[in-house]
Amino acid sequence: MNKEYTEAKARFEAGVMKTLQKNKERKETFSTGGGLPLERLYGPDMTEGTDYVKEVGFPGEYPFTRGVQSTMFRGRFWTMRQYAGFASAEESNERYRYLLASGTTGLSVAFDLPTQIGYDSDDPMAQGECGKVGVAIDSLKDMEILFDKIPLDKVSTSMTINAPASVLLAMYICVGEKQGVPMSALSGTIQNDILKEYIARGTYIFPPKPSMRLITDIFEFCSQNVPKWNTISISGYHIREAGSTAAQEVAFTLADGIAYVEAARSKGLDPNVFGERLSFFFNAHNDFLEEVAKFRAARRMWAKIMKERFGVTNPKAQMLRFHTQTGGSTLTAQQPENNIVRVTMQALSAVLGGTQSLHTNSMDEALALPSEKSVMIALRTQQIIAYESGVTNTVDPLAGSYVVESLTNEIEEKAFEYIQQIDEMGGMLTAIEKGYVQKHIQDAAYEFQRAVESKENVVVGVNKFQIEEKNKDMKLLTVDASVGERQIKKLQELKASRDNVAVSNALDAIRSAALNESQNLMPLIIDAVRVYATEGEICGVLRGVFGEYTENIVL
């Protein structure tokens, strides 16, 4: 920096010292929500060492710090995609059509827990859970109802499904067939990210090795047959919800990504090809500046990883494209209307961070599944940011902000440190097995809780500015308790009317293919789904061959 600047800064700092003698600052030290130290002031000297072209660059160009498209939201807005689904396929279909009519541009299917863990609704493990956190899907029959009157060539669908992702994707492909839409025309995403299930979300079924095989089978099958499908959504969202810091969210997500790329490469797949279909999913949390920096850092890091570590030359396979959801754990049950404001700021950080699609949480989600009204407000929040705030009219408007660029650098540095430790341990699978990742997340979560209880962290309405609240008069959504019974009845009818010989043949074929690692399971799962084998039957066969995973507790 030049002499003039250095002198001016010294003058300023002397002035500050005087001020501090009279008036102390609110805290001794300041830091981001994720614990990164924050300076009083950021100036040009802080980003002086950053090579603009190399590290920041232009949007649509390596390392994509400023975004994955050259025109970003001047071209088109992000996909407004609200995660939804509850009860049975009938009710959820109705909600989807309501959302599409209200202007959402993509669907996002929430499945109930039995579906996510590969149990049919009549399984004893499914008792009390059917239709509770999402829609219950047992067979292709349910899936046909779920997408009734929704043209699959016009809408892109994201499905939050992991351990049994192959089965649900197979069902989607078959619904497409029935609508006359070839699989090559289908677009959407399956979450398909098993590693973060072991780390943070808990809906795993099989042990890591066969799980990784199912994932790479999907990569291979889709690159040949469903080219517009995002075959995985590598998710930091749940890692953050489990309590990680922003830098950990980036680090562990990208480390998961590295593990998937390595698994696919060892199967002989080309990262220049499947790399285009990898997508990511992040959390938009409270600390506004840190979050914007986090998204930018993640993009830059992934580009570097793909290029430098995996030798990827196809720019599309270097790009980190991501979905964002506002932070569920930041919502408060107290004074729930305040959540609208939280969601607004979180969503704004995602937009300024250059997200490709966005889900905004509803204000009542700390209490129950969202009601129709609160879902509408959440969607309107996105539309107001898109159409009214003006931030979408120029690309990456916060670039060049001294603090945002500094934080971007710091998150990158911190996250690469974690990745290096994971590499030294022998990769993400070993790190999970040793509980390294879980331990870091739980420590951060416990630390956060203590800071809230000591009021070092203020949560408005929870540990400060509380008010006496009479029984909250919000209208909450309740799921009809009869969903389970209805599903069981549907299953009985299905099993009585389908071709059971065809089903058992299809299941046998899956069993023998499961034993043979070199055979791709996807086509066989599609065959089974098509003759109405249920999800529980298919997963049951795979459980028999692969075994089940038990969590690794580190507390």
Mutual angle of helices 165-179 and 535-546, in 10-degree steps: 150
> Do 178 and 150 meet the contact criterion of CB atoms below 8 Å apart?
no
Three-state SS at 234:
strand
Q: What is the dihedral of CA 404, 408, 410, 414, to 10 degrees?
A: 150
Among 277, 280, 288, residue whose Cα is nearest residue 223: 277
Tell me how far apart the alpha carbons of residues 181 and 97 are, in angstroms, rounded to a whole number: 19
We find the least distance from the C-beta atom of residue 544 to other proteins, in angstroms, to be 13
Closest CA to 529 of 267, 183, 13, 35: 183
- Identify residues 442-501 at the interface with other proteins (CB under 8 A): 442, 445-446, 449, 452-453, 459, 462-463, 471-472, 476, 479
Beta carbon of residue 303, minimum distance to other proteins (angstroms, whole number): 31
* Shortest distance (Å) from residue 448 CB to other proteins: 9
Q: Which is nearer to other proteins, 52 or 446 (CB)?
A: 446
Closest to other proteins by CB, 435 vs 523, is 435
Q: Closer to other proteins by CB, 155 or 452: give it.
A: 452
Considering the complex, state which of residue 286 and residue 318 has its C-beta at the smaller distance from other proteins. Answer: 286
Q: Which is nearer to other proteins, 199 or 226 (CB)?
A: 199
- Give least dist CB 327 to other proteins, A: 12
Tokens of 145: 């109802």
In terms of CB distance, is 106 or 243 closer to other proteins? 243
Give the contact letters, 520-549, x = binds to other proteins (CB under 8 A), - = no.
---------------------------x--
- Which residues lie across from 358 on neighbouring strands? 80, 324
The nearest distance, CB 238 to other proteins, in angstroms, is 9
Return the bridge partners of 79, or none.
357
Residue from 105, 179, 314, 329 that binds other proteins (CB under 8 A)?
329
240 to 259: interface string for other proteins, x by CB under 8 A: -xxx----------------
Could you tell me whether strands 322-326 and 278-284 are parallel, antiparallel, or unpaired per DSSP bridges? parallel
Nearer to other proteins, 138 or 405 (CB): 138
Contact at 8 Å (CB) between 155 and 175? no
Rank residues 74 and 209 by Cβ distance to other proteins and give the closer one.
209
Closest CB 433 distance from other proteins, rounded Å: 8
Nearer to other proteins by Cβ, of 471 and 518: the residue is 471
Q: How far apart are the C-alpha atoms of 475 and 189, rounded to whole Å?
A: 32
DSSP state of 126: G
* 508 vs 528: CA distance, rounded Å: 10
Q: Which of 132, 141, 134, 136 is nearest to 119 (CA)?
A: 136
135 near other proteins (CB under 8 A)? no
Q: How far apart are the first and last CA of the chain?
A: 48
- By CB under 8 A, name the one of 202, 227, 315, 523 that touches other proteins: 202
Per CB under 8 A, does 127 bind other proteins?
Answer: yes
Please list the residues that pair with 485 across neighbouring strands.
none
Binding footprint of other proteins, residue count (CB under 8 A): 51
Distance, CA of 440 to CA of 34 (rounded, Å):
13
Stretch that binds other proteins, among 50-58, 91-99, 168-176, 199-207 (CB under 8 A): 199-207
Structure letter (DSSP) for residue 183:
G
- How far apart CA 222 and CA 211 sit, in angstroms, is 17
> Minimum Å distance from CB 343 to other proteins?
16
C-alpha 202/C-alpha 543 separation (Å) is 17
**Contacting other proteins (CB under 8 A), which of 369, 378, 419, 507?**
369
| Cβ-based nearer residue to other proteins, 136 or 317 | 136
**Is residue 353 within 8 Å of 78, Cβ to Cβ?**
no
Of 15, 128, 151, 544, the one binding other proteins by CB under 8 A: 128
Sequence-distant (6+) residues with CB within 8 A of 160 are: 83, 108, 109, 110, 111, 116, 134, 191
Residue 462 makes CB contacts below 8 A (sequence gap 6+) with 332, 334, 452
Binding mask 264-293 for other proteins (x = CB under 8 A): ------------------------------
**Residue number with CB closer to other proteins (501 or 553):** 553
Contact 404, 171 (CB under 8 A): no
* Residue 372 interacts with other proteins (CB under 8 A): yes or no: no
121, burial (CB in 10 Å: exposed 0-12, middle 13-18, buried 19+):
buried
Closer by beta carbon to other proteins, 9 or else 543 = 543
Query: What 8-state DSSP symbol labels residue 460?
Result: B
- Residue number with CB closer to other proteins (47 or 442): 442
Per-residue contact string for residues 156-195; x = within reach of other proteins by CB under 8 A: ----------------------------------------
- Measure the CA–CA gap between 339 and 499, rounded to whole angstroms: 50
> How many angstroms separate the CA atoms of 487 and 508, rounded?
25
Judged by CB under 8 A, which of 309, 373, 434, 543 binds other proteins? 434
- Residue pair 112/133 in contact by the 8 Å Cβ criterion: yes
Residues between 103 and 122 that touch other proteins (CB under 8 A):
113-114, 116-117, 119
- Quick one: 242 or 395, whose CB is closer to other proteins? 242
In angstroms, how far is CA 324 from the centroid of its own chain? 6
The footprint of other proteins (CB under 8 A) covers 113-114, 116-117, 119, 124-129, 132-133, 197, 201-203, 207, 241-243, 329, 332-334, 366-369, 426, 433-435, 442, 445-446, 449, 452-453, 459, 462-463, 471-472, 476, 479, 547, 550-551, 553, 555
